[in-house]
Chain A
Amino acid sequence: AQTVTQSQPEMSVQEAETVTLSCTYDTSESDYYLFWYKQPPSRQMILVIRQEAYKQQNATENRFSVNFQKAAKSFSLKISDSQLGDAAMYFCAYRRYNNNDMRFGAGTRLTVKP
């Protein structure tokens, strides 16, 4: 089975600063999708950003961007201009192309300091 590894159990960042969350994955597939989800204290999982493996261009969504390194099987999330509302658990997830189940990492708890 594919595995997703998030090596940072906890991270903290000062408000308005930039933070990068790491994610690596293991797969023998060439086509797949990668996701970052946010889980605030409300427990509702929210999609932050997604990336198709066949696209070389890194995805961006406002203050959120990824650094996708396919050869290295790395998919990090950069949060710019961090806000207090960014405090949450962040999960990296992998889904194989043409397959419906999604696999998640262990998560990174992000704290934002005012």
Chain B
Amino acid sequence: DVKVTQSSRYLVKRTGEKVFLECVQDMDHENMFWYRQDPGLGLRLIYFSYDVKMKEKGDIPEGYSVSREKKERFSLILESASTNQTSMYLCASSPTRTENTEAFFGQGTRLTVV
């Protein structure tokens, strides 16, 4: 089974802190994604990466950056956490194929910024 693992299930950070959310997948997938999930807004794409060291902005990249130094790991960075970044963060991965491939998700990190 594909496994996508996020480093923390719950996280509490202070305003202004630099925050790292880590995600690791074990299926050699080329693509990795970071989504933010908020009630009434669904999942919104923050960034995605289709290869090592490659990244693309999603719909809401402001206040976030990402790092992909190895194929299996994709990190989301909040340079200076703010209270409006309190949310659920979901990591996902998928293979690069043109057929009907799904995305596989981690269990989510609920981040609270105080």
Query: Hey, which bits of chain B sit against chain A, CB under 8 A?
Result: 30-31, 33, 35, 40-45, 48, 50, 56, 58-59, 88, 90, 92, 94, 96, 98, 100, 102-103, 105, 107-108
Contacts and interface: CB of A to CB of B under 8 A. Distances in A.
Contacts of A93: 103
Nearest to A108: B42
Given A6-B42, A9-B40, A91-B42, A102 B103 contact: yes
B96 A100 contact: yes
17 contacts: A6-B42, A9-B40, A33-B100, A43-B88, A43-B107, A43-B108, A45-B90, A45-B92, A52-B100, A98-B98, A100-B48, A100-B50, A101-B58, A104-B35, A104-B43, A105-B42, A106-B41
Given A33-B100, A45-B105, A100-B48, 12 more contacts: A6-B42, A50-B102, A91-B42, A97-B98, A100-B30, A101-B33, A101-B48, A102-B33, A102-B92, A102-B94, A103-B45, A105-B42
Contacts, number: 51
A75 B4 CA distance: 28
A6 to B, nearest CB: 7
Interface in A1-55: 1, 4, 6, 9, 33, 35, 42-45, 47, 50, 52
A6 B41 CA distance: 10
Nearest to A1: B59
A32 B54 CA distance: 24
A100 B41 contact: no
A88 to B, nearest CB: 13
